[in-house]
Amino acid sequence: MVDNNTVMEDGKCIECGANQTEGHSCYEMFQFPLIWEHNDPELYALHFWLVSCYMIQHPSNYTKDGYHLLINLFTKAYDGKWDTEYILLKNRELASQIKKITNPVPNKERERISEKWSMTIEDVFKSGETNAINSINKWTEHIRMDLKEKQGC
């Protein structure tokens, strides 16, 4: 199944490994917390982390430079406990130094690499709206641990 944003094979996203849940691809599950944010300012405050976690697990959306920028920003923001305003300032600053951030290759033609992640959007989706803040905070922690493992840090 291809939904213009993800490729699901045998009921799994070929990039992040999330299982198709309630008939939804990982990209479709990602849309739910984006909607939930509009009902809760505290949840909306985690928007950067929600989007970053999802995008880190789907590198085909980025150029090589764009993906490295995302990893760098996420890591520094997490380790430095940056507030959202500072994260957005640094993102604008860093993004202005890169020619192209998003992948210009049509979605269906992109190279996708399967990675093993300890938590995906599937977990956030299954936890539901009432647990979204906790789930996104947990996902952020897992992403950081997974990145450390992948980078050998």
Contact call for residues 87 and 45 (beta carbons, < 8 A): no
pLDDT value of residue 79: 97
Q: How far apart are CA 108 and CA 111, in angstroms?
A: 9
Dihedral, 18, 22, 28, 30 alpha carbons, nearest 10 = -60
For 19-50, the pLDDT digits (tens) are 999 999 999 999 999 999 999 999 999 999 99
Mind spelling out the 3-state secondary structure of 85-116? HHHHHHHHHHHCCCCCCECCCCHHHCCCCCCC
pLDDT value of residue 47: 95
pTM of the predicted model as reported, rounded to 2 decimal places? 0.91
Low-confidence residues in the chain, pLDDT < 70? 1-4, 152-153
User: Based on the structure, what is the number of domains in the chain?
Assistant: 1
- How far is CA 153 from its chain centroid? 21
**Domain containing residue 80:** 8-151
